[in-house]
Each structure stands twice: as structure tokens, then as C-alpha cells.
Amino acid sequence: MRSVLPSIGMVLITSVYSIVDGFFVANFAGKTGFAAINLTFPVIMMIGALGLMIGSGGGALVAKIKGEGYPKKADRVFTMLVQFGLLLGVALGVALAVGAPAVARWLGADEPMMEECIEYIRLNMIGMPGFVLQCAFQSFYMAAERPQLGTVMSVVAGVTNIVLDAILVWLCGMGVAGAALATSAGCLVGGLFPVYYFASRRNRGSLHLRPTRMIWPYIGKACTNGLSEYVANIALNIVTICYNMQLMRYLGEDGVSAYGVMMYVAFIFAAVFIGYNIGITPVIGYHYGAGDVKEQRSLMLKSFTILGVLGVLMTLTAEIFAEPLARVFVGYDAALTELTVKAMRIYMLAFLISGCNMFVSALFTGMNNGVVSAVAAFARTLVFELACVWTLPALMGIDGIWLSWPISEVLSLLLSAILIVRYAPQLLSKRAS
């Protein structure tokens, strides 16, 4: 628990930022603006995920080069990747700003939402170069042996976003435009200040930005290394887009707004599971490397117990406090509040078992079985949920949308059991030693 609590704390902090952002928009920009943000935000996140790909793959590559004893070469590769991230952010930002109307139509925006969707996309593109770099630097901080700087920058960027939300959305009444500008400002702070730091003489880390030319094989290698992280993030956002498309079809903007509220609550709950898995994976990996099957089995059983209990507590919390949580965001609209409460009480049943399903992927990652880990994660986050969200509404109506996640988690639980029995039978043996 000492290992996992710091990880849980950092993921929770990040989740709180997005929730505060949604709070201001929902309460001071109205439900149309709130729906517009929730409809378009996954596309913005898909571009930012390219930064995660560059950072996770590039961080591993840079660390490898450092370990081989070539610190100056590591600096040059680090610089190439930062330059590539900046260029990618600018190019995609311009492209998405130009194509914003087409993107909004593809996402299913109706006429009342169209203008605010386009406005939100275009103003967010101002900060897109910073957003890509901000995502990339999360891994580079670790490679530079400056993880504390990553924590500080997360807090500073988040506070910038929240303060500007309060000023622009609440005090100045700028609505969706104010929210987009606040987000862009936070991204620029979080992405561009590290460029200044790593290029300055005050940099005390083990990586430095140095003048260099682009060598594309290194960039290709970094992107290949980080492809799995990109695919995982893309899967999550594709699922969100599909939910929004179905909700626009069946319920219009009210459905998208209700789903947005549930996502904010789910961010907090899921952050606990994500943080736990980040912290426990290296512990499992250590005992796997040491050949201590008995301790691996103990970690697995204790983790399932802990995550199972947490899942029950989270589900009960969602069921009991569904109405007050809904009122925080959409209390100004009685019909929307009623819809959100009903949806939340169905949708959040998934937390009974989702933590255990997420842990199975972390378990196999710790055991250095990346293929099985990827199968578990990919099936859970994309295959099962997409299948449910496109088929269940036709069979069950609106409730089928809200039941899509709980039913997909049941399918994932069955797959998780099969994978453990097939690929980790030693962990099920009472005689493990």
C-alpha cells in the first residue's frame, strides 16, 4: 500500500482538474455548452495521446541510450523527440482548426450545438502544441531523473486551468470559449515551460535540450515503442465517441450531458484502480524476476480482495449519492437531473468488477507477458464495450446504452478468468512456493 498510494494520489489530482473544468462549464455555460465539450473532447484527447506515444516510447529509448553510456547522444535524441512533438502539435492543431466543422458533424452535433463545438475545438487548438508536449514530458521527467518536476508542473498547469475557468467562464461569462482558452493556457504552461527548463543552465536533470538535426529512424523507433500506449488511449476515446453518437441518436444533447456527468464521477473511481495498478506492477515484476511464485500468488489474491472491496464501496457510493452528484453539474434542469441519476445507477454497477478486470492486465504486465496483458486490456476497453454499445440499444432501448459497460465488464471477467487459468496456472495452486 505504501507503494501504490502515491500513484493513486497523482492520478486522482489529474482527475480532479477535469472535473472542476466540467463543473464551471455545466453550471455557467449551460447544458448545450456542456454537451458540446463532452462531444468534442475525445477527439482532442486522441491528438494529445500522440504525445504519450512519443514520451513513453522516447523515454524508454533515451533511457536505454543513457544506460549504454552515451549521455550526449541521449540529449540529442531527446531534443529530436521534443522538436517532433512540437511540430506534430502545430500541424495537427492547424488541421483540426480548419476541419472543425466537418469533425463536429461527424461526431453527431446537432444545429444548436454546432457553433459551440466548432468554437471549442478551434480555441483548444491554440494550446495543442503545448498539450502534445505536456503529455510527452510525463515520461521524459522520469528519464531525466526529475519526477518531482513532473508533479510540480501537473499542479501548476492544473491550477492555471482552474483559475482561468473561474475568471473566464464564471466572472466574465465567456462560456465554452472561456473554458477552451483556460484549457489552452494550462496546456501551454505545462508543455512549454519544460522546454525552457531543459534548455536552460538551471537544468539539474540528466537530460538537456541541445541543437541537433532530425534523424528519423530514432523518431520512428520511439513511436513504435510507444504504440501500445497510444492504441490503449485511442481505444478509450473511440468508445467515448461511440457512446456520444448513440446518445445523440436516442436522447440528443441531454444524453451526452448525462454521460459527461457519469464520466467525471467515473474518472475519480477509476483513478484509484489505475493508480493501484501503476504502483503494484513493479512489485509483481520484482517477485516474478526473483521466481517467488508464492509471493506472486499472495499479491494476486490480496489485490483481488482489495479491489473487490473498493469496487463494492464505490458502487454503493454511486448508488446512494447519484442524485446529489448529478445536481452538482446539472441541478438547474430537473429532467436532465432525473435522467442522469437513473443512468448513473445503472452504469456504475460496472465498478463492482472493473477494478479486478483492470488488475488482470497489470498482473500480466508485471509478469512480462505483454501479449496477454494487451489482449485483456484491448478486449475490455474496445471489443466488448463497442459490441455492447452498438447492439444493446437496439434490443433494450435507452437502458441498453447504460448497461453496455456493466455487461462488457462481465464478459471481461470471464476472459480474465480464462487468461489466468491458461497462462498463470501456478498462481492458482495452493502448493505454489
Residues 265-283 pLDDT 10s = 888 888 888 878 877 877 7
Is 234 a member of any domain?
A: no
- Same-domain check for residues 141 and 60: yes
344 closest CA partner among 360, 328, 357: 328
User: Average pLDDT of the chain?
Assistant: 87
- Same-domain check for residues 263 and 160: no
150 closest CA partner among 353, 293, 14: 14
Is 414 a member of any domain?
A: yes
24-50: pLDDT as tens digits: 888 888 888 888 888 898 899 888 889
160-204: pLDDT as tens digits: 999 999 999 999 999 999 999 999 999 999 999 999 999 998 888
Is 239 a member of any domain?
A: no
Report yes or no: 207 and 198 within 8 Å, Cβ to Cβ: yes
Is 230 a member of any domain?
A: no
Q: Which value, in Å, is the radius of gyration of the alpha carbons in the chain?
A: 22
340-350: pLDDT as tens digits: 999 999 999 99
What span, in angstroms and rounded, lies between the C-alpha atoms of 401 and 350? 13
Is 241 a member of any domain?
A: no
Query: What's residue 16's pLDDT?
Result: 67
Q: Higher pLDDT residue, 382 or 168?
A: 168
223-259: pLDDT as tens digits: 887 776 677 678 778 888 999 999 998 998 899 989 9
Q: Does residue 430 have a pLDDT over 70?
A: no
Report yes or no: 57 and 222 within 8 Å, Cβ to Cβ: yes
What span, in angstroms and rounded, lies between the C-alpha atoms of 196 and 59? 19
What is the widest separation between alpha-carbon atoms in the chain?
Answer: 67
107 closest CA partner among 17, 47, 6, 37: 37
- Same-domain check for residues 195 and 265: no
For residue 146, which amino acid is it? R
What span, in angstroms and rounded, lies between the C-alpha atoms of 364 and 367? 5
Report yes or no: 180 and 119 within 8 Å, Cβ to Cβ: yes
- Same-domain check for residues 42 and 97: yes
Whole-prediction pTM value?
Answer: 0.77
Query: What's residue 5's pLDDT?
Result: 73
In this predicted structure, which of 44-48, 203-207, 388-392, 428-432 has the lowest mean pLDDT?
Answer: 428-432
Q: Does residue 18 have a pLDDT over 70?
A: no
- Same-domain check for residues 210 and 284: no
Q: Does residue 386 have a pLDDT over 50?
A: yes
Range of the domain at 98: 5-225
Write down the number of H helices and E strands in the chain: 18, 0
Query: What's residue 14's pLDDT?
Result: 62
Cα four-point dihedral sign 76, 80, 83, 89:
negative
Query: What's residue 155's pLDDT?
Result: 84
- Same-domain check for residues 410 and 264: yes
Query: What's residue 7's pLDDT?
Result: 61
CA distances from residue 276 to 43, 84, 236 in whole angstroms, order as listed:
27, 32, 19
Q: Does residue 221 have a pLDDT over 50?
A: yes
Is 233 a member of any domain?
A: no
- Same-domain check for residues 252 and 218: no
Identify the band that residue 426 occupies on the pLDDT scale cut at 50, 70 and 90: confident
Q: Higher pLDDT residue, 156 or 20?
A: 156
Percent share of the chain, pLDDT over 70: 95
Query: What's residue 432's pLDDT?
Result: 44
Q: How many domains does the chain have?
A: 2
